[in-house]
Amino acid sequence: MTSQFISPAPSRRTVVKAAAVTAVAAPALLGAASPALAGSGAPAFLHGVASGDPLPDGVLLWTRVTPSAEAVPGSGLGPDVTVDWELAEDRGFARTVASGSTTASASSDHTVKADVRGLRPATAYWFRFTAGDAVSPVARTRTAPAADAATPGVRFGVVSCANWESGHFSAYRHLAGRADLDAVLHLGDYVYEYASGVYPEAKDTVRQHEPRHEIVSLADYRTRHGHYKTDADLQALHAAHPVVAIWDDHEFANDAWTGGAENHTPGAEGEWAARVAAAKQAYFEWMPVRASTEGTVFRRLRFGRLADLHLLDLRTFRSTPAKTGSGTVDDPERSITGRAQLDWLKAGLAGSDATWQLVGTSVMISPIAFGALPAHLLEPLAELMGLPTEGLAVNVDQWDGFTDDRKELIGHLTSRAIRNTVFLTGDIHMAWANDVPVKAATYPLSASAATEFVVTSVTSDNLDDMLNVAPGTLSVVAAGAVKAANRHVKWVDMDHHGYGVLDVTSERSQMDYYTVSDKADPAATSSWARSYRTKSGTQRVERVYQPVR
């Protein structure tokens, strides 16, 4: 492995580190290469390029090279190949500032990463990879502002829950078309583990993923990640912006926890620990995320003195799920974060000098109860929320199932007078704008400790999909019941798919919600739906009647 830094200012001290992802070899898995590659047999970049986890002085670059026709993702086949990379200040690479070389091998599923340092803060760069005569697409990335910079604003795309079989990734295409984003936050469920035709049912499947069976082995998870990254809209997103990603459950299996998952059958699908290890290895190989020695994704990124972004892993350390409606949700021995991660989060929040504390949480932290709902609406809504169809208690897969952790965290925010905390959430396939109350039962007379913006799914089914009705046909009744029983919920959209754009300044944090016209249409349009903001120092959400321009 070699690297070179070409500095425009010789006196400036620079460091560039390039590192290949390492992994154990996977067993062979049959798969078809692209016709172009099969005809030439030469290396090719079939899965795009990506960047992620921007720092003030660096960024992580990623790609996957296919060195030969048989070297499909998950196959464990194909020779080692040298991959060169370069990063420049211009798209034409006339001002190259960093370059390096590494080796892609079957042991890492022929994925490579380069962790480039020594860059300027708040600066856009262009990068590409080469392998022999093959040249990857050219992509753009951006570093974070300097840690002590008085940054006037940062802007993030926000997405979650992209199920291949449920539709096309038009939301990614529309975010890729924006030139005003510092990064895109992916809050989990980047891939789904199910067999084809399970979720959604075969009659509602828009397109089939690979492999067709449920993914369990390392080869399976690699193949599924590789198939996702053939999507043109997903490739466009990664080529346009650095992505900051965390996982939720479907990167492993539905409703995952430390010792298992709802969608895992011990014995028939192997040991849970082996499945998790395979899923994590494939994730770190295929995602532009810095691998942790602890096998987790919780970490912290800073965007000047304006915002600290605290990213959580709410699957690796969570306790056995509670039974819905049982008092075990309040058991102080049970945790969604694990002790070490919760202490890390509390210390980071208390010690931050940033104006805003942004917390990426894959599942909703706001407490949710239900009022009376007609049976035909309760059943599909309960399925989305993970609730019993005969009535409601709490959604035990979210923070509602681990109330002691939530109580401790909210108590920390209030006792330490930590202001301007905004939770950014995915998972639930609906869009929400919430206050996070200190005591939900007495809200709004009691204080609000934080705010929460929840983005809807990119494609995964929500209420109108499950009922097979036009958006808005029935959800107005369900949304009204939710808001009546939860006065801290300011808005909920149960029908649409899309994405969010979070704009942060010293005065306020504003989430603009966008929806796509039809997830089954690869050419779907995008339109602004709603905007909500929280002003600095208020811990309250309010509606705004136009998006940030």
Q: What is the pLDDT of residues 70-111, one digit of tens each?
A: 999 999 999 999 999 999 999 999 999 999 999 999 999 999
Amino acid at 416: R
CA distances from 58 to 14, 137, 509, 545 (A): 11, 20, 26, 37
C-beta of residue 6 within 8 angstroms of C-beta of residue 98: yes
Give yes or no: residues 121 and 164 share one domain.
Answer: no
What pLDDT is recorded for position 475? Answer: 74
Within-domain flag for 147: no
- Considering the domain architecture, whether residues 246 and 128 belong to the same structural domain is answered as no
Residue 386 and residue 478 in one domain: yes
- Residue pair 546/531 in contact by the 8 Å Cβ criterion: yes
Instruction: Say if residue 67 is in the same domain as residue 120.
Output: yes
Domain stop point among 142, 166, 189: 142
In a shared domain, residues 128 and 201:
no
List, in sequence order, every beta strand (DSSP E) within 56-188.
Answer: 58-64, 81-88, 96-104, 111-116, 124-131, 134-135, 139-142, 153-159, 183-186
Task: Determine the 3-state secondary structure of 102 from DSSP.
Answer: strand
Last residue of a domain, one of 142, 164, 181: 142
**Residues spanned by the domain of 352:** 153-544
Write the CB contacts of 357 (distance below 8 Å, at least 6 apart in sequence).
307, 308, 310, 349, 418, 420, 421, 422
**CATH classification of the domain holding 14:** 2.60.40.380
Half-sphere exposure of 99 (CA within 13 A, CB side): 14
In a domain, 246, yes or no: yes
Domain match, 214 and 78 both: no
User: Of 122, 142, 162, which marks where a domain is finished?
Assistant: 142
- Which three-class secondary structure state does DSSP give residue 138? coil
pLDDT mean across residues, the chain: 89
- The partner residues of 131 in beta bridges, in order of sequence, read 134
Q: C-alpha distances in angstroms, 187 versus 134, 158, 312, 313?
A: 33, 7, 9, 10
The pLDDT of residue 2 is 42
Which of 438, 431, 482 minimizes the C-alpha distance to 453?
Answer: 431
Q: Kindly state whether residues 163 and 131 are assigned to the same domain.
A: no
251 found inside a domain = yes
- Residue 137 in domain: yes
pLDDT for the residue 118: 97
**Residue 549 within any structural domain of the chain:** no
Q: What is the CATH number of the domain that holds 394?
A: 3.60.21.70
- The pTM score is 0.91
Question: Can you give the length of the chain in residues?
Answer: 549
Question: Residues near 491 by Cβ (< 8 Å), separated by ≥ 6?
Answer: 431, 432, 433, 483, 530, 532, 543
H-only helix segments in 20-122 = 35-40
The span from the CA of 266 to the CA of 187, in Å, is 28
Q: Which residues, in sequence order, are bridge partners of residue 85?
A: 100, 129
Give exposure, 129-160, as e/b (b: 16+ Cβ within 10 Å).
Answer: bbbeebebeebebbbbbbbebebebbbbbbbb
3-class secondary structure for 182-246? CEEEECCCCCCCCCCCCCCCHHHCCCCCCCCCCCCCHHHHHHHHHHHCCCHHHHHHHHHCCEEEC
Q: Which residues of the chain have pLDDT under 50?
A: 1-39, 388-393
Residues 25 and 103 in one domain: yes
Does 189 lie in the same domain as 99? no
Q: Are residues 343 and 209 in the same domain?
A: yes
295 burial type by CB count under 10 A (0-12 exposed, 13-18 middle, 19+ buried): middle
Question: For 444-468, what is each residue's pLDDT tens digit?
Answer: 988 999 999 999 999 999 877 877 7
Please tell me whether residues 335 and 411 are part of one structural domain. yes
Same domain for 127 and 270:
no
Report d(CA 514, CA 343) in Å as an integer: 35
- Give the helix/strand (H/E) hosting 424: strand 421-425
Tell me 546's DSSP state. Answer: S
Residue 148 belongs to a domain: no
Residue 53 one-letter amino acid:
D
Q: How many domains does one find in the chain?
A: 2
Q: From residue 126, how far is each of 14, 50, 94, 304, 348 by CA, in Å? A: 18, 11, 11, 22, 32
